[in-house]
Structure 1
Amino acid sequence: MLSANARREEIYHLAVTTGLASVEELSAKFEVTASTIRRDLALLNNQGRLARTYGGAMALGAHPEASLRQRTGEAFEQKQAIARWAASVIQPGESILLDAGSTAGALAHELRGFGRLSITTPGINTLQELADCEGIEVDCLGGRLRGVSQSFVGPLAEAALERMSFDRVFLGADAVSAEDGICEADHAQTRLKELMARRGRSVYVLADSSKLGLRPFHAWVQLPLPWTLVTDDGADPRQVQAFQSRGVTVEIVAASAR
C-alpha cells in the first residue's frame, strides 16, 4: 500500500500524462475510498498542482498538448462525419495505414465489420477498436510509447515503415495550415507522419474545422502533393481557399450527416 504522499505523487503523474483524472478511476486504481481521493485532490489543488474539475481534476503544469482522452470528446460530430467519409473511399482488400489520434479512432470504428482489409497503425486506440474484427488484418508500428497520445513513435516505427507500402494513408493532426502542413506537439510525431505520407498511393489528412490555420506547437511536416484534406462544413472558406490555391484537394463533409 502506498503512503499518502506517494499516492498523491502518482495521482499528479497520471493527471499530467493522461489528462483528466476521475475520482472513480483513481479510487479503483489505488484501492482507497472516493473520499480519500477527494482529499488528495483538494490538497494537490491547494498546492497549485491540479485544478479541480467536475468528478476529478487535471494537471495545471501539464503539457499544453491535450491527451487522447480529452480529444476524443472534442468536435465529436465533426470527427464522426469525417470518419464516415474516409471509410466510404476505402475498397475491400486494400492496405491502409491509419494514424493515431481521436479522428483515426473514429475511422477505425467505422471499419469494424468492413471485411477484408489490411490495416497498419501506431495508435493503441485503433488496435483496440479492430482487435476482434474478423477479416481485418492488423499490424502495429511499434516503438517508443507516447503516453499522452497513446501512440508509438521513434526509430523502430520508422524502420518498419521502410518495408511497407499502402493504398491509402490517413493522417491526423493537432493543427494544419496551408503554408506549413501538419503541426504536432512533438518532432518524433512529425517525422513519423512525414515517412507515413511517403509510403501511400493516396494520402488524406483528417482534420476537423477547428484545427485549420492554427499554430499551437512548433513541430511541422510539409506534405508533398498530391494530398487530400478532409474537414467539416464549419471550415472558414478563406482557409479552404488557401489550401486549394496550393494544390491541395479539399473534401468538406456535413457534420450532421448520418
Structure 2
Amino acid sequence: MVNAINERQKAILELAKNQGFVATEQLADLLNVTPQTIRRDINTLCGQGFMQRFHGGAGQANSVENEAYHHRLHAFVDAKRRIAANVAKHVPNGSSLFLNIGTTTELVAKALVNHKNLKVVTNNLHVATILSNNDDCEVLIAGGLLRQRDGGIIGPATTEFIERFRLDFGIIGVSGIDSDGSLLDFDYQETLNAKAIIGSSRETILVADHSKFGRRAMSRFGHLSQIDWLFTDMDLPDDFLNLASAGGVGVKICCGAE
C-alpha cells in the first residue's frame, strides 16, 4: 500500500522535476531540516517509485519504466479530479469519445458517469468498468493484449480497432511532455494506440497534471501542436505556454471546482 506523501516530500519532488537532480545537503538547507530527515524522505520517495537514488542525493525516476500503477493512482489525485471534472463539463451529452490508458482518464470516466447517451471506445478495462455504472452509456472495448498491471489493452489488434472509428472527442493521458512539445510514453505499443486516437478524433483533449511537463519517457507519439485542448491544473511554464500558443492549443487551467 502507498502512503501519502507530505508537503516537504512534495517540495522535494518539485525541485527534482525542475533541476533533474537534488543534493541532500542542498535540500536540508532549503527546507530547514537535517540531512537525516532528507535521507528518510528520499528513501520514502524512492521506495514508492517517485524518485531514483544517486550518490549524494536523488533525481527523477528514470525514463525507461513508468511508476507502478498503484503509485500513480495516489499521485496528484486532487489535481487529476479537478481536471476530470472540467473535462466532463466540456463534453456534452450525446457525444462519442475515446478514453485511453491512464489514471487521469479513469477519473474522467468517473466524472462522466451521469452523462446521457454516450458512446465510448476504450482500451482501458478500468474505464469500461467505471462506465458500466452508467445505463445510458454504450462502451466498446478494444481487443488485444491485456496488460495486467494496469488494465490497459495494447497491441496491433487494439490499434486496428481504434482506427475503425471517427469520434467526437479523443481524451488521452500522457506520461510526459518534453521541452520541445513531444508527447511521451513508456510503452511503444501504447504510443501507437494514442497516436491512432489522435488521428481518429474530431477534437483531441490532453489531460495532464503539472508533474508531466518536462518529464522524460522514451517513446514519442505526437506533438503538443496536434492537440486541440490541454486540461491541466496549474499555469504552464513559459516555454510550454509558448508552444501551446504557437500550435493553437486551447489551455484550460483547472484550479478548482466550477
Question: TM-score normalized by structure 1?
Answer: 0.71
Amino acid aligned to 1:141: A
**RMSD (Å) for aligned C-alpha atoms:** 2.5
State how far apart, in whole Å, the 2-side matches of 1:128 and 1:154 are. 21
State how far apart, in whole Å, the 1-side matches of 2:227 and 2:208 are. 17
Q: What is the DSSP-based 3-state SS (H/G/I as helix, E as strand, rest coil) of the residue aligned with 2:231?
A: strand
State how far apart, in whole Å, the 2-side matches of 1:88 and 1:96 are. 14
Asked if 1:245 is matched to 2:241, the reply is no
State how far apart, in whole Å, the 1-side matches of 2:95 and 2:185 are. 28
Paired residues of 1:145 and 1:151 also in contact (CA < 8 A)? yes
TM alignment of 1:65-214, pairs within 5 A:
65-177=66-178, 179-214=180-215
| 1:48 corresponding residue in structure 2 | none
Contiguous gaps of at least 5 residues in structure 2: 4-42, 53-61
State how far apart, in whole Å, the 1-side matches of 2:253 and 2:209 are. 10
Q: Larger radius of gyration, structure 1 or 2? A: 1
Deviations 1:163-217 (A, max 9, x none): 21100000001112352421111111111111110000000110001111221x2
Deviations 1:123-158 (A, max 9, x none): 111111111211100111121122333200111111
Contiguous gaps of at least 5 residues in structure 1: 1-19, 23-51
Paired residues of 2:173 and 2:206 also in contact (CA < 8 A)? yes
Question: Residues 181, 149 of structure 1: CA spacing in aligned structure 2 closer, same or farther, 3 A cutoff?
Answer: farther
State how far apart, in whole Å, the 2-side matches of 1:125 and 1:240 are. 32
Q: What is the DSSP-based 3-state SS (H/G/I as helix, E as strand, rest coil) of the residue aligned with 1:222?
A: strand
Question: TM-score normalized by structure 2?
Answer: 0.71
Paired residues of 2:48 and 2:71 also in contact (CA < 8 A)? no
Identity of aligned residues (%): 22
Q: What is the DSSP-based 3-state SS (H/G/I as helix, E as strand, rest coil) of the residue aligned with 2:114?
A: coil
Q: What is the DSSP-based 3-state SS (H/G/I as helix, E as strand, rest coil) of the residue aligned with 1:179?
A: coil
Question: Residues 190, 84 of structure 1: CA spacing in aligned structure 2 closer, same or farther, 3 A cutoff?
Answer: same
Paired residues of 1:119 and 1:139 also in contact (CA < 8 A)? yes
Question: Residues 141, 178 of structure 1: CA spacing in aligned structure 2 closer, same or farther, 3 A cutoff?
Answer: farther
Q: What is the DSSP-based 3-state SS (H/G/I as helix, E as strand, rest coil) of the residue aligned with 2:170?
A: strand
State how far apart, in whole Å, the 1-side matches of 2:200 and 2:254 are. 26
Paired residues of 2:145 and 2:155 also in contact (CA < 8 A)? yes
